[in-house]
Structure 1
């Protein structure tokens, strides 16, 4: 059994991946966790989702055990409202969810999830949010009328098909995201509403990417369970407490130091740091497995050198590089990150990508993105821990998470 502590950050998740790799593949592997998990650091929640899927894809994955005796419906309702319970139940449903006494918690989760799903289906996103965080999911292993919501998809009643909504429709998603995360902070709501067009572009590019590449495995097989989505959270804290929110990451600390030096008069006061996290995640095969699927037929990702995986990822980001055929067989744009990098760079933002064996970032304050250039340097990414452009091999993860920081800078 692997036990998850209540405070979730990137360091804790890396430790859990090491534990996962060391487990006996022949033994049933249960996952144990508390009811009150805390995600105080940038990108922690979506990276937690990746870990849950990485565990679930193991052949010996067992049940989810909640570390409390006699868990009640109210306990379950709370963790579902916090989004954590919803995610773990979607992923772990088949093999069961139990409390410390061995009681089956599926009836409680079924009832609590139904309430949250009803809010999703009725587009009551502000009500579905929790403490300045909101989750917009797409569930691929259930009937589309249950798992695909109208912020992302348009239902054609004549053909009973669900098609990805055009970019113009993502204005509603953007407005709901801003409203849900800034509900109790009017000044930040006004600030992010002014850049709603840029946020819409980022959301469309990233979610379209999951639609094209992450609904099935790189070999075309259905993924059960399969979950994609957008997660956003507003961070607003005193600068002196920075390390509580960065997990002592040198990359983040340097970025926020630069933000602080350039923008001493933030909207919420000299001593505050304010930013919006926008993360898009999926449970697919990962960027490199999709981009190089022909070369990887019959192979594991571990069969290629980590330096090659790093190179392939950079190639996949470049404009017009693609593994996907568009309409009428014409080449569509690449993995979909070219425009996102333009937008985030102009906003002086920050990017993090966790996929395959790579954990990479880019601080666009230090290394801006130059629109006309399509060379490798313009797509440079750096290792999360070492801050080097030389690839560092980590444990292989399921899916991809792409997290960006849109900072609040010198509003007037």
Structure 2
């Protein structure tokens, strides 16, 4: 196998979770360049775009200060840059690269691509939702090292720079745009629950995205939410993208749904921080630490009494996420450190109180937690079923 700058990791347009995990294994083994698709079917799968963003962040950290992104030639030349940057994973890959090489494999196009990145960020920070929505998803990102006029105003107060205290207006505005394209009615959606999920998930990821374990600012840092509407015809194996537990969850809806199509609202967040276990441990997770111990460190983050920061106002975000998940009959996937965990609940539970048993997570492949390739930051993906009774 080639080493150093000669090694390149290239994801095909058909790549799903398994190929992303394979790429992460390679990224952890040696230095390499990276090529991602301009068009990627994985983006339309649950958590696909944020998983691609996490891959790009992990690759960048393993290769800096020589992280080289090679542009793909899978679309027409005049559409390539826009196609890539319209997608969250593509925007993050370009923003976190030290150098960007053109489709010919030789020409340095870093300067022109960064100008396009700046234009795309301006669109995302100032545009209307009907312009920002890509397909059935709304990307809301904040990329610290490229922000010249302050953080994303859809997520932060322009004056104070604090995370918005209430996301209800944003969620309702986003739903108005997304639901226009489907038969779903806004009356079928618990807007308050979604706004709470936005607030808790993004506040949690905001705390951990920008600084390392010593409190120093990262050279590059980002975080974001992808809010999406995912209509699924049940059963639909391809929607699960090869994840057995997700397939099982989708199939469980067949008993509850009044019609063969179920709409899921997806709330996915990502960040570029050290990861949940490292924050809890307050140090880098040693390579020889048993995976069971890393799992315990992550599980601790979901306890009501635990917080990794000194501010007493914090420490309730992830417990509240679990309560919302159980109340709605939702699905969660968490990818952090060497763990890929999931949890789901059937809809219509009479008692949504979160118990100790509810904090027992499965490996994404089923069974007890297993060791996966190490990643930077954390990715949460939440699915909420809506309109089951229609």
Q: Same fold (TM over 0.5)?
A: yes
Matches of 1:128 and 1:97 in 2, distance apart?
27
Matches of 2:149 and 2:349 in 1, distance apart?
42
Partner residue of 2:205 out of 210, 217, 235: 210
Match of 1:154 in 2: 157
Contact 1:151 1:172 in 2 (8 A): no
Match of 1:145 in 2: 149
Contact 1:318 1:374 in 2 (8 A): no
Matches of 1:106 and 1:59 in 2, distance apart?
16
Kindly state the Cα deviation for residue 364 of structure 1 after the two structures are TM-superposed. Answer: 1.2
Is 1:221 matched with 2:221? no
Matches of 2:364 and 2:350 in 1, distance apart?
19
Match of 1:165 in 2: 164
Matches of 1:373 and 1:335 in 2, distance apart?
13
Match of 1:118 in 2: 122
Match of 1:346 in 2: 327
Is 1:72 matched with 2:68? no
Cα separation, partners in 2 of 1:337 and 1:367, compared to 1, 3 Å: farther
Is 1:403 matched with 2:381? yes
Is 1:176 matched with 2:157? no
Contact 1:210 1:282 in 2 (8 A): yes
Matches of 1:290 and 1:108 in 2, distance apart?
37
Alignment of structure 1 residues 203-282 onto 2, 5 Å:
203-240=198-235, 242-263=236-257, 265=258, 270-282=259-271
Match of 1:7 in 2: 14
Match of 1:190 in 2: 186
Partner residue of 1:31 out of 30, 34, 40: 34
Kindly state the Cα deviation for residue 353 of structure 1 after the two structures are TM-superposed. Answer: 0.5
Contact 1:320 1:332 in 2 (8 A): no
Kindly state the Cα deviation for residue 210 of structure 1 after the two structures are TM-superposed. Answer: 1.5
Contiguous gaps of at least 5 residues in structure 2: 1-7
Match of 1:50 in 2: 54
Contact 1:69 1:101 in 2 (8 A): no
Matches of 1:114 and 1:62 in 2, distance apart?
19
Cα separation, partners in 2 of 1:373 and 1:202, compared to 1, 3 Å: closer
Contact 1:116 1:128 in 2 (8 A): no
Contact 2:322 2:354 in 1 (8 A): no
Question: SS at the partner of 2:287?
Answer: helix
Matches of 2:327 and 2:265 in 1, distance apart?
15
Contact 1:358 1:393 in 2 (8 A): yes
Is 1:391 matched with 2:369? yes
Contact 1:246 1:253 in 2 (8 A): yes
Question: SS at the partner of 1:145?
Answer: coil
TM-score, length basis structure 2 = 0.89
Cα separation, partners in 2 of 1:323 and 1:82, compared to 1, 3 Å: closer
Matched residues, number? 381
Match of 1:363 in 2: 344
Is 1:382 matched with 2:362? yes
Kindly state the Cα deviation for residue 49 of structure 1 after the two structures are TM-superposed. Answer: 0.8
Question: SS at the partner of 2:20?
Answer: helix
Contiguous gaps of at least 5 residues in structure 1: none
Matches of 1:312 and 1:69 in 2, distance apart?
42
Kindly state the Cα deviation for residue 44 of structure 1 after the two structures are TM-superposed. Answer: 1.5
